[in-house]
Structure 1
Amino acid sequence: MDGERFPDAFRSYRGKTLIQRPLCPTYVLLGVSYFLVVIGLAVALSKVAAVSSELRKVKDDLAKDPFGNDFHLFPCGANTRQWEYFSGKCYYFSLQAVPWHQAKADCERQQSQLVIVDSLAKQNFLETRTRNERFWIGLHDLHTEGVWKWLDGSNYITGFKNWKTGEPNTYLNRDEDCGQLWINGEWNDFTCNSNSYYVCEKTLPTKSTSAPKRA
């Protein structure tokens, strides 16, 4: 009986109409997918090329100036971080109190000089760093009493001044021939052999001199 049904069922299936689905949408989807993959690869390769170009540029810059970053972070020199930068110059605030002549010599050993206070802007900068202490500056009347001079030859008469009221003067008949920043930032004349802190000043080093040479 089963054998008889099978041919009938087979014949019945063969008699039905088979529905074929169109293949066009499938090909379209495949084509779009391929196109997107190609675009993705192109974008990725473009980014890789851009990154490689930037890396080459950085490498070339470092080869030309291996200490360029240090120069921007420490304009007064990567190996002289105790120096502070202000308005195109570098300043050193001593941690030891010494006589004026020793302070002058200490600054010269560091290729600098005692600070020349020639503007209100510089005066304000120094006040913020020297308040409540006394600091020698590059001002004196050692050669002729009452004739004050700056170490760099700047014109004292027409230049900036910030003396305390009543200064410069002579106190208890002592020679006070050296200038200093007083505890409130104003100028005071004092005996040169007394101990005070000091401020050194030097011009901004160039990149070639601020970076140490490699062996």
Structure 2
Amino acid sequence: MNLIKSKATLALRSLAILFAVIGLLVPETASQSADSLEEELSSLKLKLDTWRTRYRFLCNQYREVAANCSAAVFNCSQCPDGWFQVNDQCFFISRGIRSDWVTSKKNCTENGGHLAILTTEEQHEAIEKESRRIGGFYTDFWIGLTDAENEGEWKWVDNSTLKTPFWNKLRSEPDDNKSGGEEGEDCAVVDSHSQSWYDVPCNFAYLHICQMDAVPPQ
């Protein structure tokens, strides 16, 4: 038990130090001249990203230790109102007006995220649960996957290559069907209820799913 308490104390001290260092980053930026502001902002963003990653690691480590003793447990991250959380990621299912893939991508960017990059069964299960909760007639949603640049080379909106596909194999997807136009089917939607993907023409209109990183609690 003493070992567990020592680990919990260490985790708490690490979190306190982390918050203190992050707090020091702001005045450091304020002291710079206007000429170097752009470079300093880039450097600060890199530092913040590094500390966020470190924070998530330490917080998760603390939660594991706290679960075995009487230490208080708290959330390591949170999502904006209206978004739902899966591990360290936030997701938002749009409602109302449907749009094409490019417009949907822009809408997600304007809301601080990107079209969803779905890589796990857990994410698909959470999306199915949320889509059923909010109801609605539509179950197909744009995700951030396309092979518009090179046919058959599917990439996510962050330019990473598709590694774990969830194509609907019963329908032989992706099939690049030309019935929707000569350009074929270069963008992907997820059927939230079957948790599988289809390739469709990018100019078709669907609702969409946005994604962003969860952030430390304020």
Q: TM class, shorter-chain normalised? A: 0.5 to 0.7
- Residue 108 of structure 1 aligns with an amino acid whose one-letter code is T
| Paired residues of 1:98 and 1:194 also in contact (CA < 8 A) | yes
Question: Who is 1:180 aligned against?
Answer: 189
Q: TM-score, normalised by structure 1?
A: 0.56
Q: Which residue of 2 aligns with 1:144?
A: 150
Q: How has the CA–CA distance of structure 1 residues 170 and 155 changed in structure 2, closer, same or farther, with 3 Å as cutoff? A: closer
TM-score in terms of structure 2 length: 0.56
Q: Secondary structure at the match of 1:146?
A: coil
C-alpha separation between the residues in 2 aligned to 1:145 and 1:104? 20
Cα distance in structure 2, aligned partners of 1:142 and 1:129: 29
Structure 1 spans left out of the alignment, 5+ residues = 1-70
Paired residues of 1:130 and 1:181 also in contact (CA < 8 A): no
Unaligned runs of 5+ in 2: 1-73, 133-137
CA RMSD of aligned residues (A): 2.4
CA distance in 2, matches of 1:93, 1:129: 8
Q: Is 1:177–1:190's contact at 8 Å kept on the other side of the alignment? A: yes
Which residue is 1:116 aligned to?
117
Name the aligned partner's letter for residue 107 of structure 1: C
Other structure's SS at 1:163 match:
coil
Q: 1:161 aligns with which of 133, 151, 165?
A: 165
- Report the secondary structure of 1:92's partner residue: strand
Which of 196, 201, 215 is the matching residue for 2:211?
Answer: 201
Q: CA deviation at 1:173?
A: 6.3
| Secondary structure at 1:124 match in 2 | helix
Alpha carbons of structure 1 residues 115 and 173: separation in structure 2 relative to 1, 3 Å: closer
- Equivalent residue letter for 1:195: A
Partner of 1:88: 88
| Higher gyration radius (CA) | 1
Aligned length: 134
